Amino acid sequence: MESMKTSIAGMPLQHPIFNASGPKCTTFEELKALGESAASVILHKSCTLEPRQGNPEPRYVDLELGSINSMGLPNLGYAEYLKMMPRLKTFGKPVISSVSGLYLSDNITIVRELNETLVDAIELNLSCPNLVGKPQVGYDMEQSDAVLEAIMAISKKPLGVKLPPYFDFVHFEQMAAILNKRHVAFVTCVNSIGNALFVDPEKECTIIKPKGGFGGIGGDYIKPTALGNVRKFYELLRKDIGIVGCGGIKTGMDVFEHILCGASAVQVGTQLMKEGPSCFSRITNEFNSIMSRKATHPLATFKEN
């Protein structure tokens, strides 16, 4: 029987399944519910320097095969998450801070202050698709390189990077070369696929309001793209850089597929939004029963057709 135990950024985890930054992880009540759930890590909503209300509503819609959102980073501001840290640590599992400053100087301020807290690791979000007038840093290789250079120089915590989905091998190679130069602890693949459009044919309008209806999609729609990104970065990155798979996970079998492709841990976004934190015990049990039938770790058995 293969064990579910894993590690990411040097942190031992009982099992690989925890929440993606964004869904149901903004307030202390939501984070407490994650602490009490079967999730193996608590990851909080991407924080900015100042608190943000985010974009106008409707800005999130559940869809049959996933979700669309354009939240615009509504969060309490980093100082609130700093204050919560001792209480979040009482749940006895690692805590990761997602950081998404609007400017490099904001990220520097936030990371400097996180250095002095109990947080176990940082996930630097280079891939928010829903900020009006702000392109995703992760699609600008020069800017990504400069941001990582500056943040790695000051971070005393293990640093992970949340990446957007890439669609061309040359972009995977460029980003991998940037990451391989540095002591990045992990990458999380992927953020929402940005700028999708869902329309209501009855009402003849877009289903969300911000940005002309354009939003990031998650869930079943993006699992193949997420698996492609996990696999490609597994092939290209140094083996000491962990890969956290994110995209389309709603069952234990989805977790297994991400791990087969190269993930050491996985995050659940849309399904947490739909089902609430009890999804973690269900998915973990499903994954456990798959692993109990396996004699070897899935990574050792992956093969091309």
Query: Which residues of this protein are in contact with ligand FMN, per CB under 6 A?
Result: 20-23, 45-46, 60, 67, 69, 71, 73, 98, 125, 162, 191-192, 218-219, 222, 246-249, 268-271, 273
**What is the number of residues in the chain?**
305
Residues 186 and 41: beta-carbon distance below 8 Å: no
Looking at beta carbons only, is 35 or 66 nearer to ligand FMN? Answer: 66
Strand order across the 60-63 sheet: 60-63, 66-69, 214-219, 193-197
CB 230, CB 90: distance < 8 Å: no
Give the residue closest to ligand FMN by C-beta. 22
Active site residue 246: no
Q: How far is the CB of 58 from ligand FMN (least distance, A)?
A: 12
The least distance separating ligand FMN from the CB of residue 27, rounded to whole angstroms, comes to 13
What are the beta bridge partners of residue 69? 60, 216
Copy the structure tokens of residue 93: 């599992």
Least distance from ligand FMN to the Cβ atom of residue 221, Å? 8
The answer to whether 216 and 55 have CB atoms below 8 angstroms apart is: no
Q: How far is the CB of 303 from ligand FMN (least distance, A)?
A: 26
d(CA 13, CA 121): 13
Q: Which residues contact 164 (CB under 8 A, 6 or more apart)?
A: 126, 127, 129, 136, 138, 139, 190, 191, 194
- Sort residue 98 into left (φ over 0), alpha (ψ -120 to 50) or beta: beta
Provide the CA 204 distance to its chain's centre, in angstroms: 33
Rounded Cα–Cα distance for residues 9 and 191 (Å): 19
Distance in Å, CB of 218 to ligand FMN, minimum: 3
For residues 93 and 250, which CB has a smaller minimum distance to ligand FMN in the complex?
A: 250
From the candidates 128, 246, 261, 279, which is the catalytic residue? 128
The residues assigned a catalytic role are 128
